[in-house]
A = this chain, B = another copy of it.
Amino acid sequence: MDDKERKELTINLGHGSGGIMTRDLLDKVIFSTFDNPLLNKKHDGSIVKFETEIAISTDSFVVSPIFFKGGNIGELAVNGTVNDVAMCGAVPKYLSLAFIVEEGLKMDEFIRIVHSVKRAADESGVQIITGDTKVVERGKGDKIFINTTGIGAVHPRAKIDADNIKAGDRIIINGNIAQHGMAIMSEREGLEFESAIKSDTTNINHLVSKLLDTFGEDIHLFRDPTRGGMASVLSEIASDIGLGIKIFEKDFPLEKQVAAACEILGLDPLYVANEGVFISIVDEKIADDFLSFMQKDPKGENAKCVGYITKEHPHKVVMQSFIGGTRMVSPLIGEQLPRIC
């Protein structure tokens, strides 16, 4: 970035979207500045070695509204980070918890959030072990922001590394996409459906551990498509490996109601944020077993294989659409829905 750009650009919502502008900002500013092998992996979290390897991941949560159908910012802040640690192939154990509260937040709301952090932490089996609370003046924040940083012990059989991905690997998703994004969006737009669309915020670390116990090194990558959705995450993976990704629109599990809401709002569900959803890229020889194993778990019962890795179109994601044509899938450009998590 040259000096003129530096002087003239401002940070805007696109920089926080998880899409192409975020990536651009990270490449130009963050990675180039800190430039170390651990950070350069550009995974959701980093693995560091003390005696045993531990995985660390951090996330700030600024979702608005702070209470929504299916959850609130408190459990989101736990599940989000727990899942990021799990995505590193680790068993989450400890979380830090830091609040930035806007003056005037109701004590009752604060307590409800704290209790829901506690519940979510218990469910995922992590302990909150350190924290911080800051308060800013009215109008200088927005009710509450939460940062969590999670630490976990890397699973002894985990070999999660984009470098292990090879042609033929299958891409398996554990459940319905676009739930979280559409829940927040419906809440904000005041959309009413027969039954409310609920966020899918949940932990997936126990399922991930069982998958690692069973399939170990044949799992090459885990990723959770939160901000920016499936399309952004798959594009990011494709751009990091020397291979292409082929996906099939019809195979993405999607609730009818969520599909309808996307249609009303003119949104492509592949770009909508998810919370309790993750993709696994696995060796083709275990793909069928992996899929049926997952389908037996409550958090994987809608699991589907949605595509594969190919030597064709390296660095690109190509999708076969419902009507049979194929098109390139790009990462999210700009910002679809700010403050989704």
Interface residues of A (CB under 8 A from B): 1, 5-16, 22, 25-26, 29-30, 33-34, 36, 38-39, 44-46, 48, 50-52, 54, 56-62, 64, 93-94, 96-108, 110-111, 114-115, 117-118, 121, 127-137, 139-142, 145, 147, 149, 151, 153, 338-339
Q: 20 more A-B contacts (CB under 8 A) besides A10-B106, A11-B106? A: A11-B107, A11-B135, A15-B133, A16-B101, A16-B133, A16-B136, A29-B110, A29-B114, A33-B118, A38-B129, A39-B129, A48-B94, A56-B130, A58-B97, A59-B98, A60-B98, A134-B339, A136-B339, A139-B139, A141-B145
Select from chain B the residue with minimum beta-carbon distance to A142.
Answer: B140
Which residues of the other chain, B, contact A338 by a CB distance below 8 angstroms?
A: 135-137
Q: Is B96 a contact of A56 with CB atoms below 8 Å?
A: yes
List, in ascending order, chain B residues with CB within 8 A of A136's CB. Answer: 16, 62, 142, 145, 338-339
Of the candidates A61, A96, A134, the one having the most CB atoms from chain B within 10 angstroms of its own CB is: A134
B residues within 8 A CB of A93?
A: 48
Contact A147 B60 (CB under 8 A): yes
Q: Are B103 and A13 in contact (CB under 8 A)?
A: yes
Is there contact, CB below 8 Å, between B38 and A127? Answer: yes
Task: Report whether B98 and A6 are in contact in the complex, using a CB–CB cutoff of 8 Å.
Answer: no
User: Can you identify 20 A-B contacts, CB atoms within 8 angstroms?
Assistant: A5-B107, A7-B107, A10-B103, A10-B104, A11-B104, A12-B135, A13-B103, A13-B135, A14-B135, A16-B135, A30-B133, A39-B129, A44-B130, A50-B153, A56-B151, A58-B147, A59-B98, A136-B142, A136-B339, A151-B151
Determine the chain B residues whose CB is within 8 A of the CB of A101 once the complex forms. 11, 15-16
Shortest Cβ-Cβ A-B pairs, 9 listed: A16-B135, A51-B51, A58-B96, A149-B149, A147-B147, A46-B129, A9-B107, A140-B142, A46-B130
Report copies per complex.
2
**Which residues of B sit under 8 angstroms from A56, Cβ to Cβ?**
94, 96, 129-130, 149, 151
Q: Which residues of B contact A151 (CB under 8 A)?
A: 48, 56, 151
B48 touches A50 (CB 8 A): no
For A127, give its contact among B36, B52, B127, B131 (CB under 8 Å).
B36
Assess the B51–A11 pair: CB atoms within 8 A: no
* Chain B residue contacts of A118, Cβ below 8 A: 33-34
